[in-house]
Each structure stands twice: as C-alpha cells, then as structure tokens.
Amino acid sequence: MAAHLLIVEDEEKLARFIELELKHEGYEVTKAYDGREGLRLASDNSFDLILLDIMLPGLNGLEVLRRLSQTNPTPTILLTARDAVMDKVSGLDAGAVDYITKPFAIEELLARVRVALKLHGRVGAANLGGADAASAEEGVYTWGSLRLDEKKREVKFDGQSIALTNREFLMLETLLQNKDIVLSRDTLLEKVCGYDYVGETNIVDVYVRYLRTKIDDAFGVKMIQTVRGVGYVIKSEE
C-alpha cells in the first residue's frame, strides 16, 4: 500500500520534477498548481502527506494549511523561500510538521518525506513493506550480464559487485530505465545533480567516463553509447 502524496506547487517544472522523484520512490502522487485546487483536493481526499508551497496563486499555502487544519488535518511539509522566517514560524504554528527551504537537494526532500511519513503518516513509506516473489524483480534493470537493483542499490556484472558512487548509480539507473532512448546531457544532469544544479553540463561526460572505466573497460563490453551532439543511450541488445 503506497503512501499517497499531494504536491501543491505553482512552479510546474518543479512540481513535475518532485512528482517524478516521488513516484520513482514508489509513492502515489497527485499535483495541484494553485492554492484553491490544493485545498479542494486535500479536503476531498485522504492524503498521507502534503508538500505545500507557501507562495501560491489564488490562496497562499499558509491559508490552505489553516483551512485544512479545521476540516481535514493532514501532515504537511512546507516549501518555503529562502529566509522567509516568519512563514516558517507561522507554518509550524498552523500545524505543518516540517519545512524545507528552496532551492533544496531532492535527496533532502525525499529524506524529509520518509521521516514525516514515519512519524506522522497513515500507512508509512511504500518501499518498507516486505517484497513478495512477484515484485522481487521490480526495480531491477538488466543489460546483458549487468544487473542493477535499485532497492538494494547494487550493481553486479556476472554476479560480481561494482562499486558506484551515488551519482554514477543514478546516471546508470536513468540510462537503463530509458533503454533505446537517447538522453540529452541536460536531462541526465537534472537527474543526477538535481533540477537546480548550476554548473557545467560536461560533468555528465565525466560520470559517463567513470562508468565506462568501471563497467566497459573492466568487463570488455560497450554499454553506454555516445550519440554525437545529442547525448547518451544504452541500447537493448540485438
């Protein structure tokens, strides 16, 4: 039984990015882009956790929180702008369980979501249940003798473990999830470094090089293909 989260955030790109990450973690996700819609959804449904932006069109996040606390109180994490101290205080007063300051690293948000669900949630995190045989292969991606298991966070080639850093793992996982789709450096960068990463996209090339050293060179294969001027792809085997 996956926890069901509501995101209320008017920056659609950010909302979609958070949605993808949460779904990837196994949560169910519903989105609203303004305060009134968020309030309506939260009042009519039973969410396990709400991620609520404060600066919203229509009805601001604090007002949503206040109205909700009277009708259908739901554990809520506020998304606040930097230095909005009063918002944080008012938000916690109004019943928010936590807040996170923008811009944030997605790993931090995911960690706070896990904690909030554990402390306040109705069903707990999706991935904490015991996996049965049918779902044992869920989250496992393969390419030839390579096997990536996202739950165990491990990569093996012919049963032999390959030690990857967090970003190398994310990069490989993203490419394996999108087999036969050429991913641009921007897409990979967003996935690996977060949507608000500011820096050189050639960092993607660096991680691809690390992966090639650890996998292609070590096991004599050619897994990650370069598509000149576009990006990278892992192709299904012929």
Within residues 143-162, the interface with Ca ion by CB under 5 A covers none
Q: What residues from 40 to 99 belong to the interface with Ca ion (CB under 5 A)?
A: 53, 55
Instruction: State which residue, 10 or 154, has the beta carbon closest to Ca ion.
Output: 10
Q: Which is nearer to Ca ion, 10 or 149 (CB)?
A: 10
Measured from the Cβ of residue 21, the count of other Cβ atoms closer than 10 Å reads 19
User: Strand runs (DSSP E) across the chain, as ranges?
Assistant: 4-8, 28-32, 49-53, 76-80, 98-101, 140-143, 146-149, 154-157, 160-162, 183-184, 224-227, 231-234
- Contact range with Ca ion by CB under 5 A, out of 3-11, 32-40, 93-101, 200-208: 3-11
Stretch that binds Ca ion, among 5-13, 131-139, 182-190, 225-233 (CB under 5 A): 5-13
Sole window of 2-10, 58-66, 92-100, 126-134 interacting with Ca ion (rule: CB under 5 A)? 2-10
Residue entry with tokens 């309506």: 40
Please identify, using beta-carbon distances, which residue of 60 and 72 lies nearer to Ca ion.
60
Identity of the residue, 53 or 87, whose beta carbon is nearer to Ca ion in the bound complex: 53
Site size for Ca ion (CB under 5 A): 3
d(CA 55, CA 34): 9
Q: Smallest distance, Å, CB 59 to Ca ion?
A: 12
- Cβ neighbors of 80 (< 8 A, separation 6 or more) are 54, 87, 88, 91, 99, 100, 101, 102
Residues between 6 and 25 that touch Ca ion (CB under 5 A): 10
Closer to Ca ion by CB, 2 or 7: give it. 7
Q: 205-222: string of b/e by CB count within 10 Å (b at 16+)? A: eebbeebbebbeeeeebe
Instruction: Determine the residue with CB nearest Ca ion.
Output: 55
Calpha distance 78→75 (Å, rounded): 10
Residues that bind Ca ion (CB under 5 A): 10, 53, 55
